Amino acid sequence: MTSTTQHLALVPGLNNTRAVFDGVVAHLPTGITPHALDNPPLETVEAIAQAWLAQLPERFWLAGFSFGGYVALAMLEAAPERVQGIALLCTAPFADSEAAAQKRLAALDAVAQGRYFEMIAAQAGNAFHPDSLNNSALMAARQRMVQAYGPQTYAAHVRATAARPDRSHLLNGDRPTLVLAASHDRVFAPETLQAYARHIPGARVETVAHAGHLAPMEQPAAVAAALQAWVEGAA
């Protein structure tokens, strides 16, 4: 790696604030400057992407987690000359099917009925490795993050998710690419991520052990190490 500081944008997911990356940031080396921001409550990934691009350095490495992967790909499409490399963390580049989009939008009924926090609490089993569910500090950190995120932001991001296009064509190997899966991810199965990664020329593919979907919170050191190896391997 060169002595030049490398800038790394870290885009959080649905029901996440930038706090989802707190542990990852703490484990990054001094040569990598992280830029972890909250996604604004806008209703298209393209609008969110523009908000990010307005706040970032001219050139940067780009890592998107879950919903953040959809935003990251919109950023790559809008400003490919600024993106040094792309990392997709527990996410995929494809659009929703019509049925999946409708299922997402149906969740907005729960928000309208004031049941957002109840709904998210019930999803903990899908978010974490089973062993993490008894980790009170981790559960409390997620609860604080969800409280800060809130139902209005959730509603905007669900609409953005349902409307996103397929951007798999952008993953053509023209820049360093990392696909990071989690061993026990029930949202994006590691087999699914590994399968599409095989079609990306030169992609680095890694799986974080003992982690569910919220791998950046459960295994921040492992996620940081994967990001560091990706940046340092090409910078």
Average pLDDT over the chain, rounded to an integer: 96
HEC per residue, 31-71: CEEEEECCCCCCCCHHHHHHHHHCCCCCCEEEEEECHHHHH
Query: Which residue, among 53, 65, 50, 49, has the nearest Cα to 11 in the 3D structure?
Result: 65
Q: Which amino acid is at 40?
A: P
Residues 99-107 have a mean pLDDT of 88
pLDDT at 235: 62
Residues 178-207 have a mean pLDDT of 97
Structural domains in the chain? 6-97+159-232 (3.40.50.1820)
What is the tens place of the pLDDT at every residue in 38-88?
Answer: 999 999 999 999 999 999 999 999 999 999 999 999 999 999 999 999 999
Integer Cα distance of 111 and 150 in angstroms = 10
Integer Cα distance of 205 and 194 in angstroms = 7
Residue 103's pLDDT band (boundaries 50, 70, 90)? confident
- pLDDT exceeds 70 at position 181: yes
Integer Cα distance of 144 and 224 in angstroms = 22
